[in-house]
Amino acid sequence: MKEKQKKNFVKVSYNLLATTKLSSTQKLFVSYILGWQKNGKVCFETNNTLASKFGKKYGGIRSVLRELNKHDFFKSVKKDYDEKTGTSGHEITVNIDKLDAFLADETSIQNINSTEQEVNQTITSKDSQNEDSNEEVSDYNIETNTRKLSESILTKHQLGDTISVYDILGQLGYEEPDDVLDFIHKANSTSMDFQKFISISKNLHIEKQHHDYKGIIISDKVLTKINKMIQV
């Protein structure tokens, strides 16, 4: 009984397959060389042999080698030139670490582009949703969104310092535009000295105890935070 002929395959990694910086033939060629190296060997073949294996003409395989040699992970060295046939062998190697770095660079760029696209889409979506908002609410949303990462940090102010209502209320955790607009309406200003802000806050804290009170709620906890913001 005849022994079955062993089938040979060229295995292409998914990372190599996905790259857009190499042609399909280049990907197969690199994988072919890696196959030699995984078996502990170095590829040493002539252009004619390589052309036959890859279904290309002599000039075509030379073009593949020339283009791949432009990358630092690929190295093809001519050896044993035959004057009679006009051909030479090639010792071809692929530096795996450099190839991984080559592929990783593209992956990083793709991730960055993907992240930028998601951020841009999010910003566009938020802008569309806020088109009908009035100017004061929009300003407050911008102030609040840019401060969400540092809400726990309370800035210090002297009593005579001019402060922004948006800024202080944002730090105190007020995210609802209606609360901010109510405070601004009662204060009749979007900015004032810090002492006036404290005075208004204390008055609102007292007024909230009335049963018919409607508006921003200044709690004991909020007053404690405001006191912590006073620079001694």
Residue 152 CA to residue 167 CA, distance in Å, equals: 13
Domains of the chain: total? 2
pLDDT at 136: 52
pLDDT at 2: 43
Task: Give the whole-number percent of the chain exceeding pLDDT 70.
Answer: 72
One-letter identity of residue 60: G
**Is residue 127 in a domain?**
no
pLDDT at 122: 54
Looking at per-residue pLDDT, the higher value among 232 and 5 belongs to 232
Number of other residues whose CB lies within 10 A of the CB of residue 128:
9
Same domain as 207, residue 146: yes
**Is residue 202 in a domain?**
yes
Please report which confidence band the pLDDT of residue 193 belongs to, taking 50, 70 and 90 as the band edges: very high
pLDDT tens-digit series, residues 41-54: 999 888 888 888 88
- Structure tokens, 4: 């079955």
Please report which confidence band the pLDDT of residue 34 belongs to, taking 50, 70 and 90 as the band edges: very high
pLDDT at 112: 47
Number of residues that make up the chain? 232
pLDDT at 10: 83
Over 70: is that where the pLDDT of 184 sits? yes
- Structure tokens, 168: 């202080």
Same domain as 149, residue 207: yes
Please report which confidence band the pLDDT of residue 194 belongs to, taking 50, 70 and 90 as the band edges: very high
pLDDT at 46: 87
Over 60: is that where the pLDDT of 183 sits? yes
**Is residue 124 in a domain?**
no
**Is residue 220 in a domain?**
yes
pLDDT at 51: 86
- Structure tokens, 224: 């404690």
Give the up-direction half-sphere exposure of residue 36: CA atoms within 13 A in the CB hemisphere. 15
Task: Check which CATH number belongs to the domain holding 69 and give it.
Answer: 1.10.10.10
pLDDT at 192: 92
Residue 31 CA to residue 103 CA, distance in Å, equals: 14
> Starting from the edge strand earliest in sequence, which strands make up the sheet with 43-46, in order?
43-46, 87-94, 74-82
pLDDT at 56: 87
Q: Closest Cα partner for 96 from 40, 41, 30? A: 30
- Structure tokens, 17: 């397959």
> Cα-flanking dihedrals φ and ψ of residue 227, to 5°?
-60, -35
Residue 32 CA to residue 54 CA, distance in Å, equals: 10
Query: Which residues lie below 8 Å from residue 82, measured CB to CB, with a gap of 6+?
Result: 88
Range of 85's domain?
14-101
Over 80: is that where the pLDDT of 154 sits? yes
Q: 90 pairs with which residues across the strands?
A: 45, 78
